[in-house]
Amino acid sequence: MSKGLKRLKKILHNEGLRFTSQREAVWNEIISSDDHREADEIYMAIRQKGISVSRATVYRTIDVLLKNNFVRKLDLGVGPSKFEHRIDSHHHDHIICIQCGRIDEFLVDQIEDLQDKVAKEYGFKLVRHIHQLFGLCENCQ
């Protein structure tokens, strides 16, 4: 059993949930892609692979993964939130097209440093930040 799977088993146990092949399938589907997907898209992708799983199981499992920092949630202000896994994934920010929903990732050292600086000025120790840019992509302009 892989390290990730062992951790999954452990967090499910801590949440009082059984480790089932359906929950494992949710996990496998999430880590199989670096895309930012809605819970429903993840659900559909699993169904398309011929795995029988309920929508409720998918949503519940994503909730547990989110709570335990296995996935990151992107609240886009409108429409359903999107999810991406956080395994071997470094911190990044997102730029989002409000027309077609395209999401690109970026990391700019200067922005990261500035945020640290702002936190320091206000006497905060930074734990996390969410930085999102919204606009129209090349194709949608």
**What residues make contact with Zn ion under the rule CB under 5 A?**
84, 97, 99-100, 102, 105, 137, 140
Cβ proximity to Zn ion: between 118 and 136 the closer is 136
Cβ proximity to Zn ion: between 44 and 97 the closer is 97
Shortest distance (Å) from residue 97 CB to Zn ion: 3
Q: How close are the terminal C-alpha atoms of the chain, in Å? A: 47
Cβ proximity to Zn ion: between 51 and 95 the closer is 95
Please give the Cα distance from 109 to 136 (Å, whole number): 24
Shortest distance (Å) from residue 121 CB to Zn ion: 28
Please give the Cα distance from 94 to 68 (Å, whole number): 21
Q: Which of 103, 44, 45 is nearest to 72 (CA)?
A: 103
Shortest distance (Å) from residue 100 CB to Zn ion: 3
Helices (H), 32-105: 39-48, 55-67
* Rounded (5°) CA angle 115-118-124: 100
Distance (Å) of CA 76 to CA 11, 34, 65, 73: 27, 18, 19, 9
Cβ proximity to Zn ion: between 124 and 134 the closer is 134
Shortest distance (Å) from residue 37 CB to Zn ion: 11
